[in-house]
Amino acid sequence: MEGYLVLSLMAVVCAALLWRPLMNSGRPTATRAEYELEFYKDQLNEVERDRGRGIISIEEAEASRLEISRKIINCGDIRASQSIWPQKKQARFAVSVALFIPVAASLIYLVQGSPGLKGSSVKIAERGQTTLNEIAPQLRAEITELRDRLEKKPNVLATWVALGRTLFRSHEFAQAAQTYMQATTIFPENAELFARAGEALVYGSDGVVVPAAALAFKRSLSLLPNDARSRYYLALGDQQNGRLEGALRKWKELAADSPPDAPWQDTLRERIASLSEQIGKTSDRAPLISNRDQDARTDNDSVTPGPSREDIAAAQELSPEDRQEMIRSMVDRLATRLETNPGDLAGWRRLARARKVLGQKAEEKAALGKIAALEPKNEQAQLDYLTAVVELASPQLPSSAELGPTLVRILRRDDRNPTALWYSGLLAKSEGRNADAIKHWSNLLSVSDPNSPRYVELKDQISSLRK
């Protein structure tokens, strides 16, 4: 009841405030012509004063008086003003408006509003703000601890990264981006901080690459041109802004430049397939072949014959299921021929690519193993086999008998190869050889970026092994 009384009083006050100016609007007021006339009269007086002080000559004064007089004539001899409406009509309009607006507002509020709902000053104060109370207790405690550590030691990169990650996990994307950007003021040459800030902005914008995120990714690429995260999101921004051809090209380049076991390869394949279908490039939907696969193609590929012209013509007339079965049979025939000619390097390469297209990971690994055995000094062949071995065993670590010889061959050619050093450390750690794990990971540290969060994580791993 008190609410309605307050609303009624507000309506009365509103009506009174509207009534007074509307009723006064009918009183005579000076017109624009009268204001101009007074202005020109003042100008005439000013001309006379300037003439008397000798500022202007007689001829200049006469010319000014003639010009001002012409303007006065154009204004007309209007001495009085008139109301637009008669006084009675003005009064009726004032009453109607003064009563209608408060009544209409009250009716709308009664229908749409909630007069009986109590207000919450706390909710209003917190509107648009993020509080730690909305975060899970464990994460809240972690955030508080990390912030306290930054207060004492603000120059520790690992603490900044850990705080940003924790805020990101808490879905506090804006705060995560702010944290990473604040860290860039201390570490301005750290590309990953800019990339992480951009990613947080994208997540905070429901997946849209907003201009601020694009700027962060571009800054990251200016520091580290091959940063995969920045390249991916800038391509996504191109797609969202209608630059489909550019987005497709960038994603294909990123897929070709990335290791086959990179965690973002599956996402790239899906993006490329979907975008290719969208712009009509159905041929791009085939599984990707990296630059290393392209480089591996040699003139010896003709040693083992491919499908004949008749095979291709026959395949085009088959249903998709029969065509797939025909491809499998052709691949099996190639594998059978290679059993009788195991030294055909080009054939094994073709078989490995075919197994990859068909998604036959175990058979692909076997073919890559043959290639690695035929080319023991080819570092890339060893790395391709290593990748296949690790992928097939995931999430477990492959056995020492399978992984060890390959790692030895890679490190014999390049004792600072990051991939081989990482898996050598993992293998040694799994077997309890902590000293060897520390040795491999210490070598990996020597070829890693000291400003990279991965560098800090690796140091933590080594420290834990030394305890």
Let me know if residue 100 belongs to a domain: yes
Query: Is residue 459 classed exposed, middle or buried when 0-12, 13-18 and 19+ CB atoms within 10 A define those classes?
Result: middle
Selected residue with higher pLDDT from 394 and 34: 394
Let me know if residue 451 belongs to a domain: no
> 228-244, pLDDT tens digit by residue?
899 999 999 999 888 89
Let me know if residue 416 belongs to a domain: no
> 160-219, pLDDT tens digit by residue?
998 998 898 888 899 999 999 999 999 988 998 999 999 999 998 888 998 889 999 999
> Is pTM, for the whole model, over 0.85?
no
CATH number for position 210:
1.25.40.10
Contact 448, 458 (CB under 8 A): yes
Both 84 and 162 in one domain: the answer is no
Let me know if residue 438 belongs to a domain: no
Q: How far is CA 364 from the centre of its chain?
A: 35
Domain containing 49 equals 2-116
Both 188 and 110 in one domain: the answer is no
Let me know if residue 391 belongs to a domain: no
Tokens 């994603």 belong to 251
Let me know if residue 467 belongs to a domain: no
The per-residue pLDDT for 402 is 84
Let me know if residue 106 belongs to a domain: yes
Give the pLDDT band (50/70/90) at residue 399.
Answer: confident
Both 55 and 88 in one domain: the answer is yes
Q: How far is CA 259 from the centre of its chain?
A: 23
Segment 306-328 mean pLDDT: 55
Let me know if residue 285 belongs to a domain: no
Both 110 and 162 in one domain: the answer is no
Both 87 and 158 in one domain: the answer is no
Is pLDDT of 56 > 60? yes
Is pLDDT of 429 > 60? yes
Both 75 and 103 in one domain: the answer is yes
The per-residue pLDDT for 326 is 64
Both 185 and 235 in one domain: the answer is yes
> 272-305, pLDDT tens digit by residue?
988 888 887 544 444 444 444 444 444 344 344 4
Is pLDDT of 78 > 90? no
In percent, the amount of the chain with pLDDT more than 90 equals 13
Q: What's the domain count of the chain?
A: 2
Read off the DSSP letter of residue 299: G
The per-residue pLDDT for 315 is 47
Both 107 and 9 in one domain: the answer is yes
Both 9 and 53 in one domain: the answer is yes
- 271/400 Cα distance (integer angstroms): 36
Selected residue with higher pLDDT from 437 and 51: 437
Q: Mean of the per-residue pLDDT values for the chain?
A: 76
> 138-161, pLDDT tens digit by residue?
788 888 899 999 999 989 898 999
Both 101 and 142 in one domain: the answer is no
